[in-house]
Amino acid sequence: MERNTFAACLRAVRENAPLVQCITNFVTVNDCANILLAVGGSPTMAHDIREVEESVAGVQALVCNLGAIEDVEAMRLAGKKANALGIPVILDPVAAGVTTIRRSACATLLEEVRFTVIRGNASEIRALALHQAGGSGVDVAAADAVTENTLPAAVALCQSLAQSTGAVVALSGAVDILTDGVQTVLLRNGCPTMSRITGSGCMLTALLGAFCGANASPLPAAAAAVAAMDLAGERAEALRLQKGTGNATFRTDLIDAVFNLTEEQLTQGVHYEVYQG
Amino acid sequence: MERNTFAACLRAVRENAPLVQCITNFVTVNDCANILLAVGGSPTMAHDIREVEESVAGVQALVCNLGAIEDVEAMRLAGKKANALGIPVILDPVAAGVTTIRRSACATLLEEVRFTVIRGNASEIRALALHQAGGSGVDVAAADAVTENTLPAAVALCQSLAQSTGAVVALSGAVDILTDGVQTVLLRNGCPTMSRITGSGCMLTALLGAFCGANASPLPAAAAAVAAMDLAGERAEALRLQKGTGNATFRTDLIDAVFNLTEEQLTQGVHYEVYQG
Amino acid sequence: MERNTFAACLRAVRENAPLVQCITNFVTVNDCANILLAVGGSPTMAHDIREVEESVAGVQALVCNLGAIEDVEAMRLAGKKANALGIPVILDPVAAGVTTIRRSACATLLEEVRFTVIRGNASEIRALALHQAGGSGVDVAAADAVTENTLPAAVALCQSLAQSTGAVVALSGAVDILTDGVQTVLLRNGCPTMSRITGSGCMLTALLGAFCGANASPLPAAAAAVAAMDLAGERAEALRLQKGTGNATFRTDLIDAVFNLTEEQLTQGVHYEVYQG
């Protein structure tokens, strides 16, 4: 993957202005819509089972965010329709291992829908890959967090999930892992304050919809989306430290930074490597 | 319509502090509540079918936002009760033409509820007026956008819908059209960044509730609400260009600008004309 | 209650990082999550009846916010489970007296769940204590607002509700009243602009979850949560007056102020007295 691929993927988003349908949770739905508008896409949050199939026929990507656990049937219907139409589908398995219905929902969705990208934190990816219960709440469990020591095992887990599902797997953490099961890319951008707002993960998943809706190759598209989010986080963190503000201003500055992100910033700022495992 | 009418309508909102019930979508509900508080009104977002009729009896206006497509029955019940009590009802036909259930919901609501104001973008107004399918997502379709060339046809469409429904029709766009079917007013304020945040339309619809709840005449009330929103957008845009911020800060500045909007700003800033068609 | 108790309770929140499950309304759910992250806690907003009991087993506190009137059964199930596990449960009886289903929901919840803290405005506390209908919308009715003249009667009402329920009662207003039925504390912090944003009350209730989840004694924990919120409000108000901003920036600054609140600010800024009734 070339360094200028990131910028090319961002340019495609702005040129194509993809319409992204998100079936997503009520906690962060407004942020997801605004970050889609910030990056140059357009959001629709239609999620009623009576209209999702009709709605998805007019969009460039579909995002299924399991935070909306009550909308799993809508995700299944919309996902199958998107598959039939060749529209990319992104899965965010929020709190995948935490409760019985979430494990069951993941199993159903993975069985019936082909996902283009699956994005989660280490606990969620582990729960999907190993069909395990685990964790509480929506944040990564301390024991699951990826460190330099546990990186090879985490990469192997992501590759295994990518191979079994056919999806690009994007594991978010201090190191971001992206893999299609063959090629694996690591990104080392972002900042700790991203975990002090709700919706960092959900917003990234929305961006994955925009990037996959505007670019044909999922792995570079996903890597560019992750890089865009992380660099926006770095910009917002710099502003927070400079202004002495907190997590609420950080959230606003993060979306603003996506709005103002240039191709040059992306090319120059991204810290990535192709993983040689 | 006199220039000082706009300020008089704003003053009435602040003096009466209307309580506005919004049956509205989860994407922008928080923004709708905060902009109602900004303008000097008070929000209640009760939408459960078991309580909407009881709730609406205590408010000064009801807003039905079709983004909440799952709440159409609540809108119908609350709308009929509001009609019986003489409380103004505002309709925002979000994505009216996009799916079958939305066209059906619009038909039901227009048949059973008398609306004081119907506010939408050009695609939504067209779908209502012509009972047509069309568009995808929640934004205006490029082919529907009102230009100076298509303005006479758009005005005629609005007038026709106003006459058939008895509502003031407010079409939002680069030029805003307001008509009760007899008198028509055009407004030329606002800024392009309003379409780069989610909820510009929903927030305006909420403001229409506040202005109609505090003023007896719907056409000037609606024109004043549109002017207030557009001038707030212009103020937020000036700040955005000055500060180099993005759409998230713009959203915050927009609500702030409504909070701080003065009668004098409204009188001096509004660009309106009575349309001689 | 000693002055340094407030800071000690805040310190415990930051040291224990309590996971707080909120069954709360869609209007302010994002703000509730972000203020929990701001104070050093962690949010989960699981509210599906199929998973709330499983979810609550992994958290340090449960918040039941009656704004989510459609989730009363989830609150009942989660509340009973929390009681069985010794996890503190906070009730926010939003608009308690306004409609029939809200009065009924309150009766059910008070009968079946033991609450650690009940927090509401004067109209809501009155509705709970006297089983009365009253009010419209979600704000305190003017006739119910606590003044220095009506303070003794308001305290007596809170004490009565505390004694009948076993909960600490926290009445929010210009004067905040906190009582466990025996000891009563008054706080005189905060600012008027807190009533010009949606969610001041909901966010405080979320903070009560964090403080009770990290501290064993409910009365000082609740008093510290109220003091933290009110001091953050004072900080945000000072910024608003200085910058000439509005209620939207105020909301952002309020959450930021919780993020940056120091133990020293809390110790020095709180205006409290133990009530000698």
CB B137 within 8 A of CB A42: yes
d(C-alpha B232, C-alpha B236), whole Å: 6
Residues B13-32: tens digit of each pLDDT: 999 999 999 999 999 999 99
Closest CB to C246 among B43, B50, B259? B259
CB A261 within 8 A of CB A43: no
Which among A168, A277, A181 has a CA at the least distance from the CA of A223?
A168
B70, closest residue in chain A (CA to CA): A48
pLDDT at B140: 82
d(C-alpha B208, C-alpha B202), whole Å: 10
Residues A212-224: tens digit of each pLDDT: 999 999 999 999 9
DSSP class of A160:
H
The sheet that has B42-44: what strands, in order across it? B42-44, B19-23, B61-65, B89-92, B117-121, B168-172, B176-179, B184-187, B272-274
Residues of A in contact with C19 (CB under 8 A): 136-137
Percent of chain B surpassing pLDDT 70? 100
Q: Which residues of C are annotated as a binding site for substrate?
A: 45, 199
pLDDT at C123: 94
Q: Are C33 and A95 an interchain contact pair (Cβ–Cβ within 8 Å)?
A: no
Type of residue found at C89: V
Using beta carbons and an 8 Å cutoff, which residues of C are at the interface with B?
25-28, 30-31, 67, 69-70, 95, 98-102, 136-139, 196-199, 244-249, 251-252
d(C-alpha A35, C-alpha A206), whole Å: 8
pLDDT at B17: 98
Pairing assessment for the beta strands C61-65 and C89-92 based on DSSP bridges? parallel
Q: How far is CA A260 from CA A35, A38, B99, B117, C92, in A?
A: 11, 8, 34, 37, 40
CB A198 within 8 A of CB A1: no
Q: Are C246 and B258 an interchain contact pair (Cβ–Cβ within 8 Å)?
A: yes
d(C-alpha B129, C-alpha C229), whole Å: 49
CB B230 within 8 A of CB B190: yes
Identify the weakest region by mean pLDDT among A147-151, B105-109, B160-164.
A147-151
Closest CB to A29 among B27, B244, B248? B27
pLDDT at C139: 81
d(C-alpha A190, C-alpha A231), whole Å: 6
Asked if residue A137 has pLDDT above 90, the reply is no
Closest CB to B101 among A30, A33, A48? A48
Quote the ipTM score: 0.96
d(C-alpha B18, C-alpha B16), whole Å: 5
CA distance B241 to chain A (A): 12
Selected residue with higher pLDDT from A98 and A136 = A98
pLDDT at C168: 98
Asked if residue B139 has pLDDT above 90, the reply is no
3-state secondary structure of A230: helix
d(C-alpha A82, C-alpha C152), whole Å: 63
Site from A136, A138, A200 to mutate, C interface, most C CB atoms within 10 angstroms: A136
d(C-alpha C1, C-alpha C16), whole Å: 22
pLDDT at A200: 97
Residues of B in contact with C98 (CB under 8 A): 46, 54-55, 58
CB pairs under 8 A between B and C: 90
Pairing assessment for the beta strands C117-121 and C89-92 based on DSSP bridges? parallel
Pairing assessment for the beta strands A117-121 and A168-172 based on DSSP bridges? parallel
pLDDT at A134: 72
Using beta carbons and an 8 Å cutoff, which residues of B are at the interface with C?
19, 26, 29-30, 33-34, 37-38, 42-46, 48, 50-51, 54-55, 58-59, 251-260
d(C-alpha C258, C-alpha C39), whole Å: 6
Which among A203, A184, A213, A196 has a CA at the least distance from the CA of A249?
A196
d(C-alpha C108, C-alpha A54), whole Å: 41
Chain position carrying tokens 């660099």: A231
CA distance B197 to chain A (A): 6
Q: Which residues of C are annotated as a binding site?
A: 45, 119, 172, 199
CB C177 within 8 A of CB C170: yes
Which among B235, B244, B212, B239 has a CA at the least distance from the CA of B225?
B212
Residues B37-94: tens digit of each pLDDT: 999 999 999 999 999 999 999 999 999 999 999 999 999 999 999 999 999 999 999 9
Q: Which chains form contacts with chain C, at 3 or more CB pairs under 8 Å?
A: A, B
Average pLDDT over residues A72-95: 98
pLDDT at B134: 73
Percent of chain A surpassing pLDDT 70? 100
Using beta carbons and an 8 Å cutoff, which residues of B are at the interface with A?
25-28, 30-31, 67, 69-70, 95, 98-102, 136-139, 196-199, 244-249, 251-252
The set of residues, in sequence order, having a beta carbon less than 8 Å from that of C171 and lying 6+ positions away, is C119, C120, C121, C122, C125, C146, C154, C158, C177, C178
Percent of chain B surpassing pLDDT 90? 92
Residues of C in contact with B260 (CB under 8 A): 244-246
pLDDT at A180: 98
d(C-alpha C14, C-alpha C260), whole Å: 12
Average pLDDT over residues A201-208: 98
Q: What angle do CA B158, B160, B163 make, to 5 degrees?
A: 110
Q: Are B249 and A252 an interchain contact pair (Cβ–Cβ within 8 Å)?
A: yes
Site from C34, C44, C62, C239 to mutate, A interface, most A CB atoms within 10 angstroms: C34
Question: What is the DSSP secondary-structure string of chain B?
Answer: --THHHHHHHHHHHHH--EEEEE--TTTHHHHHHHHHHHT-EEE----TTTHHHHHTT-SEEEEETT-GGGHHHHHHHHHHHHHHT--EEEE-TTTTTSHHHHHHHHHHHHH---SEEEEEHHHHHHHHHT----SSSSPPGGG---TTTHHHHHHHHHHHHHHH-SEEEEESSSEEEESSS-EEEE----GGGGGSTTHHHHHHHHHHHHHHH-S-HHHHHHHHHHHHHHHHHHHHHHHHHHT--HHHHHHHHHHHHHH--HHHHHHH--EEE---
CB C204 within 8 A of CB C28: no
pLDDT at B136: 74
d(C-alpha A70, C-alpha A228), whole Å: 30
d(C-alpha B43, C-alpha C25), whole Å: 14
Q: Are B43 and C198 an interchain contact pair (Cβ–Cβ within 8 Å)?
A: yes
Residue A262 structure tokens? 């240039």
Using beta carbons and an 8 Å cutoff, which residues of A are at the interface with B?
19, 26, 29-30, 33-34, 37-38, 42-46, 48, 50-51, 54-55, 58-59, 251-260
**pLDDT band at B143; cut points 50, 70, 90:** confident
d(C-alpha C223, C-alpha A28), whole Å: 30
In tens digits, chain C (277 residues) has pLDDT values of 899 999 999 999 999 999 999 999 999 999 999 999 999 999 999 999 999 999 999 999 999 999 999 999 999 999 999 999 999 999 999 999 899 999 999 999 999 999 999 999 999 999 999 987 777 777 888 888 899 899 999 999 999 999 999 999 999 999 999 999 999 999 999 999 999 999 999 999 999 999 999 999 999 999 999 999 999 999 999 999 999 999 999 999 999 999 999 999 999 999 999 999 7
d(C-alpha B191, C-alpha B186), whole Å: 15
Asked if residue A277 has pLDDT above 80, the reply is no
**pLDDT band at A64; cut points 50, 70, 90:** very high
Closest CB to A197 among C19, C37, C55? C37
Is A45 annotated as contributing to ligand binding? yes
Type of residue found at B85: L
Q: What dihedral do alpha carbons B139, B142, B148, B149 form, nearest 10°?
A: -140
The set of residues, in sequence order, having a beta carbon less than 8 Å from that of C100 and lying 6+ positions away, is B50, B51, B54
d(C-alpha B68, C-alpha B75), whole Å: 9
What is the CA C205 to chain-centroid distance, rounded?
3
pLDDT at B81: 98
d(C-alpha B158, C-alpha B60), whole Å: 26
Chain position carrying tokens 């398995």: A93
Residues A151-189: tens digit of each pLDDT: 999 999 999 999 999 999 999 999 999 999 999 999 999
Q: Are A259 and B252 an interchain contact pair (Cβ–Cβ within 8 Å)?
A: no
Type of residue found at B238: A
Q: At what angle do helices A29-39 and A200-214 cross, to 10 degrees?
A: 40
**pLDDT band at A141; cut points 50, 70, 90:** confident
Residues of C in contact with B247 (CB under 8 A): none
Length of chain C (residues) = 277
Which among B54, C21, B176, B202 has a CA at the least distance from the CA of A99?
C21
Residues B201-249: tens digit of each pLDDT: 999 999 999 999 999 999 999 999 999 999 999 999 999 999 999 999 9
B28, closest residue in chain C (CA to CA): C27
CB atoms within 10 A of CB A200: 23
